[in-house]
Amino acid sequence: MHLHPRTTPRRRRRILVGAVSAALLCTSGATALPAAARSAAPAARPGEAPALPGDLAATPPMGFNNWNSTHCRPDFTEEMVKGIADLFLDKGLKDAGYQYVNLDDCWALPERDADGQLVPDPQRFPHGIKAVADYVHSKGLKFGIYTSAGTKTCSDIGFPGALGHEASDARQFAGWGVDYLKYDNCNNQGVDARQRYLTMRDALKATGRPIVYSICEWGENKPWEWAADVGHLWRTTGDISDNWSSMLDILKQNLPLAPHAGPGHWNDPDMLEVGNGGMTDTEYRSHFSLWSMMSAPLLIGSDLRTATAATYEILDNKDVIALDQDALGKQATVLESTDGRWTLVKELANGDRAVALFNETDTAQKITTSATAAGLPQADRYRLRDLWQHTDQHTTGAVAADVPPHGTVVYRISAEGKTPGAGRSGS
């Protein structure tokens, strides 16, 4: 294991990369903990925790977040955000299932007002946050915002965090019409992670507004073990970067956590980099396929205003999206991994199986498995739907593909002509 610096502007973090877990450490300056946070009541025991709002995030959230494409640059403005909402409709992304248009860091002024309220940056958002939320809602979409479970957010500029201000900030977000909160982990003053995130969860619940709650704790304290009744999704790793190595590292950290994911509580391996330019289209198809197989939130991280036709084709693949959004909500598991040849299997609500044949290596590979190994019952034949070629084939059981370097072939497999008396095997 080793430390390496993250080069994303305005966020000084380090990512500890390992085979199973990662810790993301904020190195920005700490400030004094507000008295309200120091005197916070102890966190409720799991058995006493109030339930999250029902029916939220029954499938992994889909939408957009500006961070990967704009960071804190001047082009992060209300006009950009409105333009993204327009493109959701114009390019068919809303019809494909994308619904959240989310702001990340740098939307506020560095200081609260005299009443302790957050103040939107008037240069970026001259009409305020509520006006932007109203615009997004007018398109039939939902609106998200960002803050940190600390005294400051993650930007070096030092925008106000919510630690010690949870109730007030939650009311402000609800009043603006926020539908989704990404709650980061910088400048947390060492306050117990579960306690920090419970406090905001309860503050959001007290507003009475249904708000999807995204815990961005970077997997430091294994939130998959304690956050199922705290948030709707939780980051399992450090921040993704727009390169093959980063995507691969995060994949390998998130895959073993499949038992912890399900409707209303998802593992989050971070946002999509599809279209940002650091990978090939083949690699982006793998990225999108693997995130969908893992039931990951699908939050577009590229600037849709300048996206290529190939990027839109990847993001709009409804056959692959259907795997991510499958009602059963089972994250794919690893059936086999040998010398960079991966076979992932995902059980689907109608009894089908999705099988991803993923080639991690730099040379073409033939990857094989079988329908019964994927968990389907014995049958006379099976239908294989190639979800990228959008073609069908039939097989008596063999599942195979010649997979290009860094490529992924995804099949949706269903049994046809079942043998009498054959029983379904589980996965």
Question: What residues are annotated to the active site?
Answer: 184, 239
Instruction: Identify residue 395 by its one-letter amino acid code.
Output: T
As a whole number of angstroms, the distance between CA 16 and CA 25 comes to 8
Q: Which residues contact 46 (CB under 8 A, 6 or more apart)?
A: 226, 229
As a whole number of angstroms, the distance between CA 83 and CA 89 comes to 10
Sign (positive or negative) of CA dihedral 235, 241, 247, 252: negative
DSSP letter at 53 equals P
As a whole number of angstroms, the distance between CA 176 and CA 99 comes to 17
Count of all residues that appear for the chain in the document: 427
- Parallel/antiparallel/unpaired status of strands 13-17 and 23-26: antiparallel
Q: Which of 185, 110, 116 lies closest to 154, judged by CA?
A: 185
Cα 333 to Cα 254, 290, 310, 347, 427: the distances in Å are: 10, 11, 28, 9, 9
Q: DSSP string covering 280-347, please?
A: -HHHHHHHHHHHHHTT--EEE-S-TTS--HHHHHHHT-HHHHHHHT-TT-PPPEEEEEETTEEEEEEE
Neighbour count for residue 427 (Cβ, 10 Å)? 15
Q: DSSP string covering 63-74, please?
A: EEESHHHHTTST
As a whole number of angstroms, the distance between CA 367 and CA 370 comes to 11
CB 302 within 8 A of CB 93: no
Sign (positive or negative) of CA dihedral 177, 181, 185, 189: positive
Quickly tell me which residue has 């998130």 as its tokens: 254
Strand partners, 279: none
Sign (positive or negative) of CA dihedral 93, 296, 395, 407: positive
CB 249 within 8 A of CB 17: yes
